[in-house]
Amino acid sequence: MTEQDFKAFKALMTRVSGVLGKAAPDDETAEFAFAVINNALPDVTIRELTRAAFAHLKESHFYPTPSHLIDQVQDDRDRNTPEYYRQFALPPRVETDEETKQAMQEALRRIRACAAKVGKRMPSVDDPWDGARWTDPRTPEQVAASRAEIAEQLASMTKRND
């Protein structure tokens, strides 16, 4: 920041002091605060410092220290940063069907290896994919007939209060 920026900063701090009913900072104190802020945020502008002072006065009735102003400027910058600069995680990975199939086969292989160590058969894992219990070889008509039979049994149990 330049000498003009220091003059503007000193005027800003004088106005903040007046609003809070405090004595204006002397030149050495203002210069030191200016140096601290300039060291922490070399690219800070007077406009950002003014916004930070306004935000601080809105939230607090204490005189703002350089750390208050630095934190407020950084918060404002974070809030105004476009969303794509704030990502902390990688975007979700898009897998092809072949990669998904390979991952599932690898997971099944590892589960079977773990089950082999335990020694007890795990039917849901050890059955092949084609003959798994969740695949239903019946036709839709057979499934509908089975559901109708179950519904009839439930109705008769309800009548008998079983």
Does the pLDDT value for residue 55 go beyond 80?
Answer: yes
Q: How confident is the model at residue 127 (pLDDT cuts 50, 70, 90)?
A: low
- Whole-angstrom Cα distance, residue 92 to residue 83? 16
**What whole-number percentage of the chain has pLDDT above 70?**
78
Which carries the bigger pLDDT value, residue 40 or residue 132? Answer: 40
- Mean pLDDT calculated for residue range 59-77: 89
Instruction: Name the residue with higher pLDDT: 20 or 99.
Output: 20
